[in-house]
Amino acid sequence: MKKDLSIIIPVYNEEKNIPILYERLKKSAEVISSDYELIFVNDGSKDTSLLELMRIAEKDDKVFYINFSRNFGHQTAVTAGLDYSKGNAAVVIDGDLQDPPELIPELYAKYKEGYEVVYAQREKRNGESWFKKVTAKYFYRILKEMTHINIPVDTGDFRLIDRKVIECLKQMPEQNKFLRGQIAWIGFRQTAVFFERQERVHGKTNYPFSKMMKLALDGITSFSDKPLSFVTKTGFFISVVSFLIILYAIFSHFILRQTITGWTSLIISSMFIGGIQLLSVGIIGEYISRINKNVLDRPLYIVERTNIE
Ligand code: UDP
Ligand code: MG
């Protein structure tokens, strides 16, 4: 049975945010239609988030929860929510109120104008560290340079997507999800609504540097082969240069009668090539490990319990 709108919220240790998030989401959804569902995906929270969600779901039949057996990560949580959703359109929104629920009617208005994807683009980010802002800013721009598809800059997963796009996403069973890339890849009519990103209300970020790096590598490896061609080109360049140096060394020895000596040059060149080789193996390894994950073909997530039939 179809609904007008699904709202999908990944939740990891957001116990303090859930009650106010629920109130604000409900208000925004009701502006649009009374035929909506809120799907909270509890991604192995270590606090009382699940209890909060079950308590709300008991009182409100528009509230659903999916509880993972452990922490599977933000992108996987969103994927699960989309898999279970019944809306003709779905909104993905963070559970920490950094993405204002009040923007949802604006996203929906654009959708009604005929866009299949309406993403919320940040004009400004409040209350985040300069490190996060700088790394995020350059990440989006580097990614844009590296890929052929047009992934919008300064855009997270806060967006509205049409049922058609959800069905396409379901046909892309890759393990290392980078949803914003996949959605850009899928295409259709896409547009932006601008907003100012808010400070987290309670708790702290669950995206430490390591998770950000992983997401960045997932994005790059699934949408670009440029790192691999960098390896090839660097190897080619170094081979050409060293061949010229060999020619010079022979020339110098036999014609000029001067043998090139030097500990320094030896050490520098062997360390240089050693570094380049390790880097290259690492780059190739990033791709191979992702191939491996996909070959194993495990389920993306395990649901411990849910109130969705
Ligand atoms: N989240 C999740 N699983 C995780 C980490 C985060 O479901 O392993 C959720 C989190 O509850 C929030 C959203 O993903 O709703 C974004 O996470 P966070 O606010 O920590 O990231 P940031 O906004 O700092 O990038
Ligand atoms: Mg956040």
129-133, 288-292, 295-299: range with lowest mean pLDDT: 129-133
Atom of ligand 1 nearest to the CA of 77: 7
Q: How far is CA 260 from CA 49, 92, 263, in A?
A: 69, 64, 10
Query: Which residue, chain included where needed, has tokens 């082969």?
Result: 225
CB of 94 sitting under 6 A from ligand 1: yes
User: What pLDDT does residue 133 have?
Assistant: 81
Decide: pTM greater than 0.85. Answer: no
Mean pLDDT confidence for 146-157: 82
* pLDDT value, residue 81: 97
Q: Is 156 in the pocket of ligand 1 (CB under 6 A)?
A: no
Ligand number nearest to the C-alpha of 16: 1
Residue 296: pLDDT band (50, 70, 90) is very high
Q: How far is the CA of 77 from the centre of ligand 1 (A)?
A: 10
Tell me which residue has its CA closest to atom 24 in ligand 1.
205
What residues sit around ligand 2, an ion, with C-beta below 5 angstroms? 96, 98
Q: Locate the ligand 1 atom nearest the alpha carbon of residue 95 and give its number.
A: 15
81 lines ligand 1 (CB under 6 A): no
The pLDDT value recorded for residue 270 is: 87
Mean pLDDT score of the chain = 90
Q: In a mutational test of the pocket of ligand 1, which residue from 206, 210, 301 has the highest number of ligand atoms less than 8 Å from its CB?
A: 206
**d(C-alpha 160, C-alpha 193), whole Å:** 10
pLDDT classification of 37: cutoffs 50, 70, 90: very high
**Residue 11 CB–ligand 1 contact under 6 Å:** yes
**How do residues 218-265 score in pLDDT, each as one tens digit?**
888 988 889 999 999 998 998 899 889 889 888 888 988 887 778 778
**Which has more pLDDT, 192 or 127?**
192
**Residue 139: other Cβ atoms inside 10 A:** 17
Atom 14 of ligand 1 has which residue's CA nearest to it? 74
Residue 96 Cα to ligand 1 midpoint, Å, equals: 8
pLDDT at res. 258: 83
- Residues 287-305 have a mean pLDDT of 92
Cα of 98 vs centre of ligand 2, distance in Å, is 6
Q: How far away, in angstroms, is 245 Cα from ligand 2 center?
A: 53
